[in-house]
Amino acid sequence: GAGVSQSPSNKVTEKGKDVELRCDPISGHTALYWYRQSLGQGLEFLIYFQGNSAPDKSGLPSDRFSAERTGGSVSTLTIQRTQQEDSAVYLCASSLGLWGTEAFFGQGTRLTVV
Amino acid sequence: GESVGLHLPTLSVQEGDNSIINCAYSNSASDYFIWYKQESGKGPQFIIDIRSNMDKRQGQRVTVLLNKTVKHLSLQIAATQPGDSAVYFCAETETSYDKVIFGPGTSLSVIP
């Protein structure tokens, strides 16, 4: 596609439910990043993929968070047993290689846990 | 942990004036810096980047200055326009290490 696509754009879920967030990177981009942005805050690094492997998972806030990437393309971020503090905008970015090359962000998924 | 911070959380400028947004970084090993612009409801958009072997880089109406001695980064926007109103983030990384650290952001408001 022309850019990084994320779905859904908005998600409202009940506390305790599981959610899956999807990211379609730009075709051919090998690196994919997930960030979380709370209201009025900066970007919090969650995880990144180089191909299908995730060398750095240190940013995942808890074991309720997991992410995978298949075929070197689409990535899903899964949050189990959602809590209200998980409410945020989840942003995905992709780049052709390492972040030394320009990275492009999607529009984000706004998650609201009620 | 390592962090990047901004001196001014909000900045208001008159249309046509120049804007300067400042950023301090703490990781002396960072060698690649990026500025992003985020408009309401959208993802961050790349503006300009600079590597540590440079101290200045110019784009269209934007200039990034890097002072490695004091670990300071700035973004200058010439002839600021209403469309420049957004939150601006600086970010840093070591090119040998993929985690990019973002600052908290500065909200730029342009007064017509």
* Identity of the residue in B42, B89, B100 whose CB atom sits nearest the CB atom of A45: B100
Asked whether the predicted pLDDT for residue B62 surpasses 60, the reply is yes
Instruction: State whether B44 and A45 contact (CB < 8 Å).
Output: no
- Alpha-helix residue ranges (DSSP H) falling in A25-82: none
b/e sequence B6-28, b meaning 16+ C-beta within 10 Å? beeeebebeeeeebebbbbbebe
- The pLDDT value recorded for residue B6 is 41
Mutation pick from B90, B99, B101 vs chain A, by most beta carbons of A within 10 Å, is: B99
- The pLDDT value recorded for residue B1 is 32
What proportion of chain B, given as a percentage, has pLDDT over 70?
A: 90
Say if CB B48 and CB B57 are below 8 A apart: yes
- What is the full per-residue pLDDT of chain A (114 aa) written as tens digits? 579 999 999 999 999 999 999 999 999 898 899 999 987 778 888 998 988 998 878 889 999 999 999 888 999 999 999 999 999 999 999 988 766 667 889 999 999 999
Higher pLDDT, A67 or B27: A67
Collect all residues of chain B within an 8 Å Cβ-Cβ radius of residue A103.
34, 46, 100
| pLDDT band at residue B98 under the 50/70/90 scheme | low
- The pLDDT value recorded for residue A99 is 61
Q: Looking at CA atoms only, how far is residue A67 from chain B in angstroms?
A: 16
* Identity of the residue in A31, A98, A105 whose CB atom sits nearest the CB atom of B44: A105
- The pLDDT value recorded for residue A85 is 95
Asked whether the predicted pLDDT for residue B2 surpasses 80, the reply is no
Instruction: State whether B46 and A108 contact (CB < 8 Å).
Output: no
Distance CA A10, CA A24 (A): 16
Nearest CA in chain A to B32: A100
